[in-house]
Structure 1
Amino acid sequence: MVRYALTRAALLALGLVVASVLIFATLRVLPGDVAQMIVGTEGTAAQAARIRAELGLDQPLIAQYLSWTGGIMRGDFGDSLLTGSPVLGELADKARVTLPLGLLALAIAVVIAVPFGVLAALRRGRPSGAAIGVASQILAAVPVVWAGMMLVVVFAIALGWLPAQGFPRGGWRHPGAALESLLLPAITIGVVEGALLMRFVRSATLTALGQDFVRTAAAKGLTRTRALLQHGLPSVGLSVITVLGVQIAGILVGAVVVEQLFNLPGIGRMLVADVGSRDLVKVQGELLVLTGFVLVVGFVVDLVHHALDPRQREAS
């Protein structure tokens, strides 16, 4: 187990290095000049050159990259090119919205996917099972933006149960209001991602029902449901855990869209604004944090899967 964890940790570190290189290189080919944006349309070429030198943008790209990554290793993500504020501080502040939103959306997705996915497998070949399958395909194909607008129309405008936009000015100092403002955006992401996850749960449940030990338990007098619950759920759980690692990336992409739609001050909304203003230092820090989060989740999922699956433990 220790050797496996060290191997995965080395791959995680390599993945972060590759991600940092790709992010840095990709942002450097974007059109536009940050220095010119800072001095404005009335600024001269000399002023723009002075700003470029002050920000280090006139240095070779390799020097800029090493300076950026060296700062990250010291816990310094740099300062915003436009506002001068520390990037890490702004990321921590915005994460107070994005992280709870993602966790709440993930919980909603699991609550939707697991029971309905198992039920669809148990009811395979019956009208109820077919209805669940059709519903999951429809919901999985719905764009997040359209789903969010429909939920706003129903729950915010027609029923008035939840706020349509915004986040409390006091943030989590008002936990009830903060949670209420995140509920509708989280449902928007959770319903779509839950429909995708439901199909994997159904497939994993059908596979478990076909295993010899489940069929043997059913032959000894247990119903299919009880045989699945007592003997098949561990294999279903392993499949779900594996897929959840992939779902995290989908939830983060959904958060970028949903934060715009619901006017939430999270990392996704900040990222879109910073790309528009070409604040390279902030954008590359935001992208690296989001990419790193996905890689770390994948690393944790691998370790959990390895610890729970006896076949992998024996192979290693």
Structure 2
Amino acid sequence: MFAYILRRLAFAAVTLWLATLLVFGALLLIPGNPAQAILGIDATPADVAALEHRLGLDKPPLERYLNWLGGVLRGDLGQSIRYETSISGLIVARLGITLPIVIAALLLATLIAVPLGILAARRVGSWADIAVSLGSLVGIVLPSFWAGLMFIYIFIVWLKLPLPSSFPIGGWKDPARAIAALVLPVLTVGLASSSLLVRLVRGSVLEVLHQDYVRTALAKGLSERVVLYKHALRNAALPVVTVLGLEFAQLLIATVVVETVFGIPGLGSLSLLAISARDYPLVQGVVLTIAAFIVLLNLIVDLLYALLDPRVSYA
């Protein structure tokens, strides 16, 4: 087990290093002069040269990459051009808003999807199964921005609930208001994620219920509830764990839409501002951060697989 963990950690480290190559290489592939693109066509050659020197663009690519990689290893992603401050500090501050949304949304999605998926699998072909399947299909096809706008209209305009329509300027200095401001974004993201998860849970449980060991356990006289929750559900959880890990990473990217609708200053809105302002160092830092989360989550999923399924080989 220990050797297996070390191998997965080494693989994750190599993957993250390759991600730094891809992120840095993408900046090199941008057509034209990045400094000229940032400053615009009206910039003077002196201004362009000054920005190139500030960003280190006047150095050879290999030297620039090694300098940037050294900063990444120290937790320093450079300086933002738009905000003129540390990129690492900006990302950490925005993650403090985005991560609670993603974590709470996935928790909500799991609490919704697992019971409904099990119900649909146990009552396959019934009205309950049809209703769950139709509801999940509607949740999948509805755009998240439209659902967010409808939630604003229903809960704030129509029901007049005392929910903030945007995140407070003071951030988490006012925890009650900050949490209230995240209720609708979490609901929007959580319901969208649960629509996909409920279909996955239903299909996974349905497949496991037709396995030989389940039929054998039922034939021995064990109740359906005991067989389902003690034997079948653990194996059915394997694909769900995989999708949850991927969904977590996906939501870090997809929150740009929800954060824009609800006025949430999170990582998604930061990436949008960085792209619109052509703040390439900030874009580079945000992309690398998301890539690091994807690598970390894949590592966690691999380790959870080994815990959930004894058939996973440690050799």
With the length of structure 2 as denominator, give the TM-score of the two structures. Answer: 0.93
Q: Distance in 1 between matches of 2:258 and 2:39?
A: 33
- Whether the 8 Å contact between 1:77 and 1:285 is mirrored in structure 2 is yes
Pairwise CA RMSD: 2.0
Q: Which amino acid aligns with 1:136?
A: S
- 1:88-128 CA distances to partner (integer Å, 9 max, x unpaired)? 11111111101111111111110111010111101101111
- Which residue of the partner structure matches residue 281 of structure 2? 281
SS at match of 2:78: coil
- 1:212-267 CA distances to partner (integer Å, 9 max, x unpaired)? 33223323444433421232121122332222111112222221211111111111
* Residues 32 and 89 (structure 1), Cα distance of their counterparts in 2 relative to 1, 3 Å cut: farther
- Which residue of the partner structure matches residue 128 of structure 2? 128
* Residues 174 and 82 (structure 1), Cα distance of their counterparts in 2 relative to 1, 3 Å cut: closer
- Whether the 8 Å contact between 1:162 and 1:184 is mirrored in structure 2 is no
Q: Which amino acid aligns with 1:123?
A: R
In the alignment of these two chains, the number of paired residues is: 315
- Which residue of the partner structure matches residue 109 of structure 2? 109
SS at match of 1:311: coil
SS at match of 2:135: helix
* Residues 259 and 31 (structure 1), Cα distance of their counterparts in 2 relative to 1, 3 Å cut: farther
- Whether the 8 Å contact between 1:78 and 1:281 is mirrored in structure 2 is yes
Identity of aligned residues (%): 39
* Residues 217 and 89 (structure 1), Cα distance of their counterparts in 2 relative to 1, 3 Å cut: same
Q: Which amino acid aligns with 2:70?
A: G
- Whether the 8 Å contact between 2:38 and 2:277 is mirrored in structure 1 is no
Counterpart mapping for 1:21-32 below 5 A: 21-30=21-30
- Which residue of the partner structure matches residue 152 of structure 1? 152
- Whether the 8 Å contact between 2:235 and 2:308 is mirrored in structure 1 is no
Q: Distance in 2 between matches of 1:35 and 1:162?
A: 46
Q: Which amino acid aligns with 1:243?
A: V
- Which residue of the partner structure matches residue 2 of structure 1? 2
* Residues 42 and 140 (structure 1), Cα distance of their counterparts in 2 relative to 1, 3 Å cut: closer
With the length of structure 1 as denominator, give the TM-score of the two structures. Answer: 0.92
- Which residue of the partner structure matches residue 213 of structure 1? 213
Q: Distance in 2 between matches of 1:82 and 1:135?
A: 43
Cα shift at 1:41: 6.7
- Which residue of the partner structure matches residue 265 of structure 2? 265
- Whether the 8 Å contact between 1:168 and 1:178 is mirrored in structure 2 is yes
SS at match of 1:160: coil
- 1:48-84 CA distances to partner (integer Å, 9 max, x unpaired)? 2123223212222222222111111122111113333
Unaligned 5+ segments in structure 2 are: none
Q: Distance in 2 between matches of 1:55 and 1:68?
A: 11
Q: Distance in 1 between matches of 2:111 and 2:177?
A: 23
- Which residue of the partner structure matches residue 96 of structure 2? 96
* Residues 277 and 103 (structure 1), Cα distance of their counterparts in 2 relative to 1, 3 Å cut: same
Q: Distance in 1 between matches of 2:209 and 2:197?
A: 18
* Residues 83 and 253 (structure 1), Cα distance of their counterparts in 2 relative to 1, 3 Å cut: closer
Q: Distance in 1 between matches of 2:71 and 2:237?
A: 40
Q: Distance in 2 between matches of 1:284 and 1:38?
A: 14
Q: Distance in 1 between matches of 2:135 and 2:68?
A: 47
Cα shift at 1:35: 3.7
Moved over 6 A (4+): none
